[in-house]
Every structure is written in structure tokens, then in C-alpha cells.
Amino acid sequence: MEFHATLIPATLLRRYKRFLSDHRLTDGRVVMAHCPNPGAMTGLDPPGAETWLAPARNPKAKLDYSWELVRVDGGLVGLNTGHPNRIAQEAIAEDSIPELAGYESIRREVAYGRNSRVDLLLERAGRPPCYVEVKNVHLKRDDGAEFPDSVTARGAKHMAELARMVDGGARAAVLFIVQREDCDSFSLARDIDPGYGEAFDAARARGVEALCYCCKLSLASIRLDRALPIIG
């Protein structure tokens, strides 16, 4: 996934009201940028952090910039929760995820289950359809990536929906996309959301697959890099 425009370097002043952030540009101007991440963003928003902003694509947008990257512990972290679906779709189309290779079509936001939409639906004649829920990950504790960073009732619902698809003869998987390079493993943040952990375990017991990949980040793009072991 390539950024639509050259990113602009800045320094974070503050993040507030979940979706707003103030940054100081290199010319000294202070600008307000959209924060495309409603989560806790633990460890990603300290004042003074190096940040990179993308100019708004829509000239009618309320804010002129969107906050895309932050440098944490010397490495880049992508915080836009809208990017993992595209990152995953591109990787699957290129057969870069062996577990999800060999499908002829990829459709996004397909209605399924009980008033839900699956992120990606993979299809090929002669094979069961594969329902893929993509989850954005940026929380790191110790050397491992963790999900979620806040309570997600919606995430627990998705695990139950995937399990029902497996019960009906389809294939289903949850794909965790870690938008950072400095993690050696993946686990659930069960202390943050025990309910999601229970839903995850129940879905896996019914046949839902779990995959995790981290990304390679630059100021020009974010691309899938390597698989991470799921340890808990």
C-alpha cells in the first residue's frame, strides 16, 4: 500500500477527543490533523514524538491533514486503522500470504452473518468461500504485539460470526495486521479485554483460523512483511 501523497514531517503536540491531534510542522506552523484511530493508542501519542502527516485527499475535508505515521523507539508505526484491509487485500492478491493463496476473487465489505460485513471474502470455483476479518494491531508490550488495545464488543461479535460461517461449511480466518516492524510474536491482550479473549478461543475451537503478519514501513508505503507466531 502506497501513500497517496508525500508525507509531511512534524512533531506531535497533543492528541485529543480521539480523532483530533495538533502537530508542529518544520516551518513552525501548528496544524490540526485528523487522527484515524479511535483506540487507546497506548505508547503512540507522547508529546514531542516525530510524526508524518498526509495532506487531505478530499478538498472538502474538514481538516487539511491526516496523521499517518509516528516514530516509536526508533521505528515507524502506522496508526491508520483504515489501511490494514488494503494491505491485506494487496498481499492476498500477490499470494504473499501462503495460508490464503490460490483464490480467484477478493471482495470487500460483503454482507454476511447477522447484520455484519466481512472485510474480505475470498472465492474460487470448487473451493469453499473464505471469510476473512482483518484486525489492525499497533500495541506492543515487551517484544510482542498484542490485540486489542481497548475493549471491543464488535471484535467479539466478529469472532462469533466467523464461527457460524465455519459451522455452515465455509472457511473463516481472522488476520491480524501489525503496523510496525519491532515485534517477535503476537498474543491477545486478555487483561484489557477478557471478553474478546473468550470469543477468540471459542471461535478457534470451532475451526476459525488465526493468522498474524507484521509490516515493513517507510515514508512511501506500508507492505506486509513476515508472519508472527501466535503464542496466546
Q: Is residue 3 part of a domain?
A: no
Q: Is residue 122 part of a domain?
A: yes
Q: What are residue 169's phi and psi, to 5 degrees?
A: 105, 0
How far apart CA 6 and CA 90 sit, in angstroms, is: 21
Q: Are residues 125 and 108 in the same domain?
A: yes
How far apart CA 40 and CA 189 sit, in angstroms, is: 13
For 86, the 3-state DSSP assignment is: helix
DSSP lists the bridge partners of residue 134 as 175
Q: Are residues 67 and 109 in the same domain?
A: no
- The predicted pLDDT at position 162 comes to 97
Q: How many domains does the chain have?
A: 2
Q: Quick one: angle between helices 153-167 and 194-205, nearest 10? A: 10
Q: Are residues 115 and 162 in the same domain?
A: yes
- The predicted pLDDT at position 232 comes to 83
DSSP letter string, 41-66: -TTT--TT-EEEEEE-SSTT-SSSEE
List, in order, residues 6 or more apart from 39 with CB less than 8 Å away: 81, 138, 148, 149, 150
- The predicted pLDDT at position 58 comes to 83
Q: Which domain holds residue 68?
A: 8-78
Residue 14's domain is classified under what CATH number?
2.40.50.580
Q: Are residues 14 and 104 in the same domain?
A: no
- The predicted pLDDT at position 61 comes to 81
How far apart CA 106 and CA 108 sit, in angstroms, is: 7
**Could you count the other beta carbons within 10 Å of the beta carbon of residue 47?**
10
For 188, the 3-state DSSP assignment is: strand
Q: Are residues 36 and 107 in the same domain?
A: no
Which cell numbers hold the place of 194? 477478557
Q: pLDDT by residue for the chain (232 residues), tens digit each? A: 999 999 999 999 999 999 999 999 999 999 999 999 998 999 999 999 999 999 998 877 899 999 999 999 999 999 999 999 999 999 999 999 999 999 999 999 999 988 889 999 999 999 999 999 999 999 999 999 999 999 999 999 999 999 999 999 999 999 999 999 999 999 999 999 999 999 999 999 999 999 999 999 999 999 999 999 999 8
How far apart CA 112 and CA 120 sit, in angstroms, is: 11
Per-residue pLDDT of 102-130, as tens digits, reads 999 999 999 998 888 999 999 999 999 99
Q: Which of 65, 36, 214 is nearest to 44 (CA)?
A: 36
Amino acid identity for residue 92 in this structure? I
How far apart CA 1 and CA 132 sit, in angstroms, is: 19
Q: Is residue 142 part of a domain?
A: yes
Q: Is residue 61 part of a domain?
A: yes
Pairing of β 144-147 and β 185-188: parallel
